[in-house]
Amino acid sequence: MLVDSKYSKIFESYLLSDSKYNEIYNHAVEILAHKNLVSNEVSSNLEFYIEMSKNNFVKFMRAKYSIISSNFDYHLYSDVYVAYENKFKAVQKKMKFEKITYSGVEYYKRNCKNKKKGDFKKHSFIKEKTSLSNCLNFLIKYPNSELFINNQSNDNTLSEPKKLFYENIKNQIDKFGFARLSSLVQLKRSTVLNKYSNPVEFKSLTFRGRSRLTTNIISYNKNYNSVINNFINISWLERGSKLSIPVKYSKKYHGLLKKYHKNTDTEYRIKFLKNQKISVIICTDGQRVIPDNKTNFCGIDVNVKHNLFCLSDGTTFDYNRKLVNDLAKELVKIDELKKDKNYKIGKQRQNMVDTIKNKIKKSNEELCSEVCKYLNSKGLDHIVMENLDNSFGKNFVDDKNNFDINFNRVLSALNLSSLKDIMKHVAMKYGISVSLVQSAYTSKNCPVCGCIDDGNRPDQETFCCVECGHKDNADHNSAINILNRVLLTVLKQRLLKLNKIDDGTFEPKDLKISEVKEILLSLRSNLYKKVEILHTVLV
């Protein structure tokens, strides 16, 4: 379904006078300095700000400083808050007590590639909440709450669970003494806070602002003899003051001017370019695909060895092998020549490589179109794929079978991490949404029993679970795992978040690879009960 949405468009300044450039530049320097001042304040009082919401943070800072024009302060303080948001979350997460017990050694349960049944696998630990850890977790949040707890545990008007909760805290305090628990909590607090006490340093001069003028944000130059055809008008430092920036406007790229005029309250971003130029980025209305209520997902695995895309229904789409082989050959030649340290790649050869790369990009776009047409024909409207980054393809490093083509070289040249963006772009035309999931463990996870093990991949072609024996084509298995991350509610809630633009698609939460593993493994105990559900996914 297509709905109205926002897109940003870039306007480049054109013949901007020195004095205007300096005025904007000086303002940016001022904003940057203030950002760093606020950042220092936050990092030295981390505890004070840690639980504030963004809106309260902005309100608080406005009142504290009140020196920045109201056209800029909201974005300035929001930018600082966002830079600290992850720190706040990390500190809150670290300030938790858990009981960790060593639970012994795990052994391999069956023979696999490098290990035999009964070989040492790993040490394992159990993390659990106890009465003591619950008490400490409360005290670390509310350190001076002894009196409060006393009152609460005697308060008969409280609900039963609340009463039990405070009674437990009181019992623990009676057992270990408040001073002792307090010092433990303090130690943890200061260790964690110390670790996160470095201020975030802002370096970029880019700044954001909002414009609330009665004149249109973009206007034609009424002086028709001038070479400047348009101006962007933004609210400037004083209330009601206006700054006009001469820009180039192209109907083909920017679209009709009237769509910028719908709002009298416009957000924009100013960036500094080379040669005294700036760019102004403003929002415009456009359309975006929103998945319908009844969404039909399709997992897609991206790989290079056997095909480019493998869908969770088993269909595969191959890339243009001839082009990729041509590229591989050229790159091998260049690598040979580069053994001579004085060798510099010639223009002709570079052009040749660029041409092949462009052709590959084009053919990949066509391939994405083919996938979308296929999905349309099957009534599938929501793609789930991995959030591939530049480390994609490192699985091939150790594969001796690839010696005929230098796969790593080709992979980096192909820039496959951009495939997700190409797919998003193409899919939109077909009314298909694209969600992204973490790429960690998609190839090593068993969708039937949840086991994660290097041994699950005896070779590039095969998936064979070392624990339950589930066997599948390796690429298809990955596609199923990718799909499961949105189909299984537990995984979806813990691994993914809704995209900020609120179009119903998911993106990966910012998690460490060990956290992803923990979440995947946490499903294991439940999985045995869910086998039926999974089997319906598998067929």
Specify the residue, 257 or 468, whose C-beta has the smaller distance to Zn ion. 468
- Residue type present at position 362: K
- Which tokens go with 34? 């203030």
CB 369 to Zn ion: min, Å: 36
CB 456 to Zn ion: min, Å: 8
Task: Show the beta-strand stretches assigned E in 248-356.
Answer: 265-272, 278-289, 297-302, 309-311, 316-317
SS3 letters for 460-508?
CCEEECCCCCCEEEHHHHHHHHHHHHHHCHHHHHHHEEECCCCCCCEEE
CB 257 to Zn ion: min, Å: 59
Specify the residue, 371 or 464, whose C-beta has the smaller distance to Zn ion. 464
Characterize 282-308 residue by residue with b for buried, 16 or more Cβ atoms within 10 angstroms of its Cβ, and e for exposed: bbbeeebbbbeeeeebbbbbbbbeebb
CB 270 to Zn ion: min, Å: 54
DSSP conformational letter for 225:
T
Specify the residue, 169 or 465, whose C-beta has the smaller distance to Zn ion. 465
Task: Show the beta-strand stretches assigned E in 221-289.
Answer: 230-235, 242-247, 265-272, 278-289
Residues 6+ apart with CB under 8 A from 333: none
For 275: left if phi > 0, alpha if psi spans -120 to 50, otherwise beta; the answer is left
Specify the residue, 138 or 463, whose C-beta has the smaller distance to Zn ion. 463
Specify the residue, 38 or 527, whose C-beta has the smaller distance to Zn ion. 527
CB 463 to Zn ion: min, Å: 9
- Which tokens go with 516? 């992803």
CB 102 to Zn ion: min, Å: 26
Instruction: Identify the CA nearest to 267 among candidates 211, 323, 331, 187.
Output: 211
CB 487 to Zn ion: min, Å: 18
Specify the residue, 450 or 504, whose C-beta has the smaller distance to Zn ion. 450
Characterize 314-338 residue by residue with b for buried, 16 or more Cβ atoms within 10 angstroms of its Cβ, and e for exposed: ebbeebbeebbebbbebbeeeeeee
Specify the residue, 301 or 467, whose C-beta has the smaller distance to Zn ion. 467
HSE-up of residue 146 (Cα within 13 Å, Cβ side): 9
CB 298 to Zn ion: min, Å: 23
CB 467 to Zn ion: min, Å: 5
Strand order from edge to edge, sheet including 2-12:
2-12, 278-289, 265-272, 207-212
Measured CA to CA in angstroms, residue 206 lies from 26, 249, 272, 273 at distances of 12, 21, 7, 10
Binding interface with Zn ion (CB under 5 A): 446, 448-449, 451, 465, 467-468, 470
CB 530 to Zn ion: min, Å: 13
Specify the residue, 110 or 269, whose C-beta has the smaller distance to Zn ion. 110
- Which tokens go with 336? 């040979």
Specify the residue, 371 or 448, whose C-beta has the smaller distance to Zn ion. 448
Measured CA to CA in angstroms, residue 203 lies from 29, 35, 475 at distances of 10, 10, 43
CB 486 to Zn ion: min, Å: 21
How far apart, in whole angstroms, are the C-alpha atoms of residue 167 and residue 150? 9
Pairing state between β 218-220 and 230-235: antiparallel
Specify the residue, 419 or 451, whose C-beta has the smaller distance to Zn ion. 451
Cβ-contact 299, 483 below 8 angstroms: yes
Which residue's entry shows tokens 């820009």? 247
Which residue's entry shows tokens 């052709």? 359
Specify the residue, 209 or 455, whose C-beta has the smaller distance to Zn ion. 455
CB 512 to Zn ion: min, Å: 24
Specify the residue, 278 or 465, whose C-beta has the smaller distance to Zn ion. 465
Specify the residue, 35 or 470, whose C-beta has the smaller distance to Zn ion. 470
How far apart, in whole angstroms, are the C-alpha atoms of residue 491 and residue 484? 8
CB 468 to Zn ion: min, Å: 3
